[in-house]
Every structure is written in C-alpha cells, then in structure tokens.
Structure 1
Amino acid sequence: MTKVLAAGDRFVDPQLFVTALTERAAGHELTFSTLTTGWPVEPFGPVGGVREASGTEQQVLEALGEAEVLATQMAPVTAEVIGKSPNLRFVGVARGGPVNVDLPAATEAGVVVSYAPARNAAAAAEFAIGLILAALRRISDSDAELKSGNWRGDYYAYENAGVELEGSTVGLVGYGAIGRIVARVLRAFGAHVLVADPFAGRDEADRDGVRLVELDDLLRASSVVSLHARLTPETEHLIDAGKLALLPEGAVLVNSARGGLLDYAPLPGLLRSGRLGGLALDVYDVEPPPADWPLFDAPNVITTPHLAGATRRTADRAAAIVADDVALFLDGERPRHVANPEVLERVEGLRP
C-alpha cells in the first residue's frame, strides 16, 4: 500500500492526480488523501523559502501525514515540510519547474523531485500568438472602444493602420518548447523569425527555418519581440532600458513568459513617446499589479492576468506527466523528468 497526497488547486484539481495515478500506476495499491489550495483565485507567492506557492506549510503537513508520494502543482514543499515528513520519498510537481519545492532540502533528504516540462507549451504558444495579433491589429482596443459606443473608423486611417505578420521580422527571446511552437506558427503566417537563445543549436535553427542571432542583433532587427526565456538569476531583467533602446521605432513587445525578464520602469515613457509602438503582457513583476500601476494609464497596452497556460488540456497533461513518473518510480524504474537526478543513486531498488 502506497499512501499518496494529491495536493491540487482550482486549476489542477486533486481528482485529476487521483484519476491519472489510478490509471498509470494500476499495478500498485494506492490510497489517497487530498488537499485543495486557493490558487488561482488566490495569488501564489513566496512561502517558507520557496517561491510561487499556494497554501501553507501547516496545511501540507496535516494533509501529508505518512504519505510517501506527493503530487502537486502549487503546494509549498519547504525545508520544514520535508524535514517533518520522514516517509516522503517522491514529489511530483505539475509545472515546468519545481519552484515551489526546496530542492536542496529534498536532495539532502533523499526525496526524488520530478516536474512536468512542456505541459503548457501548446497553450502558452497559442496565447503568445494571440497577444501578438491583438497588439499589431488593435483588436482589444477596438473591442473596448466599440463596447463603449465609439466606432473608431480612424483606426483605418493609413497612419493608424495595423501591421501584418506576413513579411515582418519577429524576434523570439528563448527557444524552448514554447518558442519552437510560436516560431512554427509565425512562419506559417509568412514572418521572418529570429531567435536568441544561448542553448539553441544552429543546426536546430536551420532545420526549423529560423535564424539564430545574438540578443542585441535580434532587438535591432525585429518589429515584434516576444519573450519565451526561463527566469533565472542570469535572465533577471534581461530586457532592461539599454536593451529596449535597441528596438526599432514603433516595435511591439510581448511578454507571456515571466515578469522578471523585463524591466517595467522604462515602458510607460517609451509608449507615450511612441518609441515603443505596443506592449502586450500576461506576466508582471508584481502579480497582480497594483491599481495605480503606471502601465494601466499608458497607451497601446494589452494586459491579461497570467492566463497563457490556462487550458483544460494543460491541466490534464500536467497531471498525466506527474503520474507517469510516479508510476515509473513505483515500478523501480527511473522517472523521466527528475530535477535532482543525483538522488536516484541513493534510492533502494531503483534499476539503473
């Protein structure tokens, strides 16, 4: 009998974990307890030394009990939670990275931590394309104007008319699973795609029909720039005032990746001067942004509340990826997506 805590939320419901684990680990006798945290109705935030978590350490400890396996998306798996859970052997996180897990504490305790790469790649890529189109063609602005009783015929005037993707140069900062899908769609529109990513290979870029360039060259050449990089200490404020100054006059900037990639302070002035032609954001340096956030009053800004990955298939896929790795672990096999692979050498009965 393996005890499992399915700690879900209002997006990846605990029952999604239960169903996926029951199907994929059918050869094992599992018993479940569940916990539902408040995200996304309640914003995530730092908890007990981990970031982007939902719920409290006490909630997790009470629900976890003697469970050996924890499947979650947002629950805080802190050093305290790990230290007070001696039976815990495996944590599966239904996200692109286990940012809500104290990975050093888990590694020290011999707890395997897995994650769910690319679980929202299609959803996030589609959303990014939607933001690009909305910014280039004034879709959200004209919708709001018409609903308020204004027929903006002047948007058809030559000086106000939108820009087509066909023939435009679009720069993608980051070329992981999401960036590759975005590139494929952009090329179908007829756009020329530039990519800046130190981990992307030139052979891969040539195969995909995109051009791999340095970041500064990408910014100088692109009429649209879309961010798809991971947030790390090295990429914090990757696009700052100096980088923004490289953009062509009237360029459009899209960020649906992570708020910390972008320095937001220069943006209102760049938009008001027309130096930046449009801005589309799904992520922010503070979430949610405060009511007096300067960009709310700036022109040509589209804002959405961190929705890029919000599809039902994303939730289903995330739970399934976690369940597959749990099943492998219980079968004595190496899970596919392990954040601390050095722990696997210390797991008894795990086949090499």
Structure 2
Amino acid sequence: MCILAAGDHFVLNSTIRDALREELGSHVPISELTLPWPDVPFGDVAEVHEASGSEEELIEALQGVAICVTQMAPLTRRVLENCPDLRLFAVGRGGPVNANLPAASEHGVAVTFAPGRNATATAEHTVALTLAAMRRVPQTHSELRSATWRGDYYRYDQVGLELRETTVGLVGFGAIGSRVARIMNGFGAHVLVHDPYTDKAAVEGVAEHVGLPELLSRSRVVSLHARVTPETTGMIGAAQIAAMPPDSVLVNCARGALLDYDAVCDALDRGHLFAAAFDVFPAEPVPPGSRLLRTPNIVMTPHLAGASRQTAHQAAFITAAEVGRFIRGEPLSHCANPEAIDNGGAFTTR
C-alpha cells in the first residue's frame, strides 16, 4: 500500500508526511506531488472546482496508490477511471469541492474532508477586518506612509467606532460564527445570531437568536458566516443593506455569492454604510475595473482569512487521522460519501 501526499505551497508535503508518520508510523511508503497553488490560482479542472494541478499529473502520481492526502488535487471522473487502486481521497479543507463525489462513490472511493481546520484563523481574521474597518486602519496607515498626517480624522464625523456596547449581528453560527461570537463578547459587544439550523438553546449565554430582518435592523456591525446554498445565494442585497442602521459596517469572510457587492458600493457612495470589509469576492482575483477598488471605506484582503500556519497543520493532522481510521477499519469521522465505503471503512485491496 502506498500513500500519495499531494500538497501545495500552503499545506506542505513535509507537513502532510509528518502528520502521516505520527499517525501511522514510519513503515508506510509515502510518495509526493507538489501542486502549484497558491502561486498559481486555483480554478475549475474538468467538472470540479477550486482545484490545482492537472488531471494528467495526478493520474500519473496515483498509479499503484491507494490513498491520496491533498488539499487541492482534482478528483475528476477521468482521474477515477484511470486510477483503479485508489480507495481513499482525503481532502484537507472544509468541503471537498475539488472532488466529484458521485463519481467517487461509483468507483468505491471514499472522500473525506477537514471541517473546522481554519475556523479559528477565519474568526480572528474576521474580527481583525472588522476593527480595521471601524477604526479606518488601512486608510490612516497608507496616508501616514505617504507623509500625510490626517488630524481631521479626529473630527466627530470622521472618527471611528468601538465594539464595546455595539450590537454585532452574525449570519451563521457554525464553527466560525460561534468563535466570532465569543471573541465579540470579549470586547463587550452584544451579539445577535441568525441561523435557521441552530436553535436558541445552542446560542444561549453567547448570543441572542433572532430572525434576519431583526438582526439587520438592530446591528451596527453585520458579519456573514453562512454556507452558499440556493437559499443563501444573494441573501444580502440592496433591500437588506437599506434595513441596516445608518453608519453600519458590513463584513464578509465567508463566500462572495452571499452578497450583492454593487449594492454595498452604492450604500458606501451615498454614506449609508460607514465601512465594509471583505476577504471574499464575486470574482477572484478581483478584476482591475471592479468598483470595489475605487469605492471608499472598504477594507480588503485576498481570500486569506483561513490562512495561518496552524490551519495548514490542522488540515494535515485531521486528514492523517482519517487515513488512520480508514486503514484500521474504523468509522470515518468526516466522510462526504459514506456509501462508497465497503466493510465499515476497512482498507481492502481490489
């Protein structure tokens, strides 16, 4: 049995290898393939999304390989058809969007993922962007670097906002949203949560569970933490932004599809929003002509909220633990297609 570590320049092959050695010992052979992400942006590969590398190089690397540990490698129907020894495809990210799950199930290949691997990093980044937007940190830093001392930022109509005693509304209370809530509590904010999949008891003592219209109307800061589904796509548009109080702050470190960015720019241009902060966008990379690049009072980072060294190690150790369970015949903790597993998850040769 051989394992392929298909790492990249974030989740390094050395990190994957160390995690597998710790889980399995040093006797299991591990081959390596280094994918070009993030030096080369991810994208669609055949029918899968957010993938790195090519089908051809993965097919070649998977010959005689039973288990692949990766973050970005493309598990397409063509790859599956040409890699008959593959049994487990362990993806070190929150969702295996780079894997064709129906095809994997047809070929008896279990696909696992790593929920929560970047939850702390994303939560901390969300709060950092929120504070940067509320206190105009990027603008004042940039101006000071250009030798401009903006004393007028002390004017009441220019001065920033505090989190203490501010109502913060979180749309989503999963692994990330729940961490943001606890951090915001530490600042003395009052936290509202809207999440139809979480009941009031689950947020008790941390936040107040409300409907989305109430959250929008009461929150000075609104931060998005929902998954993209048909129901949540475009959930925050012009009408929802207009329902927020004047001088509010809107933050999105989840997915670009949740939000109408033109509506945000309109609200900033007319002064309804105080600021906005984004780590995700409708098109990535952001096109050179995007309104986001010329609308004032927007703080932006290039989709790296989940990027921390701890995240990379978490991804490797979560996937390595799944490999260990699979080989020992134990139930998998994070399997996206349990119908593909034979004999309760036990490793068997074809």
- Letter of the aligned partner of 1:250 in structure 2? D
Q: 2:188 is matched with which residue? A: 190
Asked if the contact 2:169–2:219 (Cα under 8 Å) also holds between the matched residues in 1, the reply is yes
Taking structure 2 as the reference length, what is the TM-score of the superposition? Answer: 0.96
Q: TM-score under structure 1 normalisation?
A: 0.96
Q: Deviations over 1:164-210 (max 9, x none)?
A: 1011000001111111111001011110000011111211111x420
Counterpart contact for 2:51–2:74, Cα < 8 Å = yes
SS in 1 for 2:2: strand
Q: Does the 8 Å contact 2:167/2:190 carry over to 1?
A: yes
C-alpha contact 2:268 2:296 (8 A) present in aligned 1: yes
SS in 1 for 2:163: coil
Equivalent pair of 2:133/2:276 in contact (CA under 8 Å) = yes
Contact 1:334 1:344 in 2 (8 A): no
Matched to 2:59, the amino acid is L
State the one-letter code of the partner of 2:75. Answer: V
Give the alignment's Cα RMSD to 1 decimal: 1.5
Structure 2 residue aligned with 1:165: 163
Task: Give the 3-state SS of the residue equivalent to 1:167 in structure 2.
Answer: coil
| Alpha-carbon distance change, 95 to 240 in structure 1, aligned in 2, over 3 angstroms | same
Alignment of 1:14-29 (within 5 A): 14-26=13-25, 29=27
> Which residues of structure 2 form unaligned runs of 5+?
none
Q: In 2, distance between residues paired with 1:348 and 1:266?
A: 48
Structure 1 Cα separation of the partners of residues 229 and 153 of structure 2? 40
Cα distance in 1 between the residues matched to 2:345 and 2:280: 42
Residue 153 of structure 1 corresponds to which residue in structure 2? Answer: 151
> What displacement does 1:345 show?
4.9
**Where does residue 36 of structure 1 map in the other structure?**
34
- Matches for 1:1-352 after TM superposition, within 5 Å: 2-26=1-25, 29-206=27-204, 208-345=205-342, 349=346
Determine helix, strand or coil for the equivalent of 2:60: helix
* 1:55-78 alpha-carbon deviations (Å, 9 max, x no partner): 111111111112000100011111
Q: Supply the distance in 2 between the matched residues of 1:36 and 1:11 (Cα, whole angstroms).
A: 10
After TM superposition, the structure 1 stretch with the greater mean CA deviation from structure 2, 124-133 or 261-270, is: 261-270
Shift of 1:258: 1.1
Please give the alpha-carbon distance, in whole angstroms, between the structure 2 residues aligned to 1:14 and 1:233: 36
Query: Quick one: which amino acid aligns to residue 143 of structure 1?
Result: H
1:318 aligned partner, one-letter code: A
Runs of 4+ in 1 over 6 A off after TM superposition: none
C-alpha displacement at 1:242, in angstroms? 2.3
For 1:186 and 1:348, locate their aligned partners in 2 and report how far apart those are by CA, in whole Å: 41
Measure the CA separation in 2 of the matches of 1:59 and 1:259: 31
User: Is the CA contact (8 Å cut-off) linking 1:132 and 1:280 kept in structure 2?
Assistant: yes
Determine helix, strand or coil for the equivalent of 1:10. coil
Q: Secondary structure at the match of 2:192?
A: strand
SS where residue 277 of structure 1 aligns? strand
Cα distance in structure 1, aligned partners of 2:248 and 2:10: 35
**Secondary structure of 2:33's aligned partner:** strand
Q: How far did 1:232 drift?
A: 2.2
Q: What secondary structure sits across from 1:187 in the alignment?
A: helix
How far apart in 2 are the matches of 1:99 and 1:308? 18
1:347 shift after superposition:
5.4
Which blocks of at least 5 consecutive residues in structure 1 are unaligned? none
- Number of equivalences: 348
Deviations 1:106-128 (A, max 9, x none): 11111111100100111111100
Distance (whole Å) between structure 1 residues aligned to residue 346 and residue 8 of structure 2: 33
Among all aligned residue pairs of Structure 1 and Structure 2, give the percentage whose two residues are the same amino acid: 48
Tell me which amino acid in the other structure corresponds to 1:16: T
Question: In 2, Cα distance between the equivalents of 1:233 and 1:66?
Answer: 39
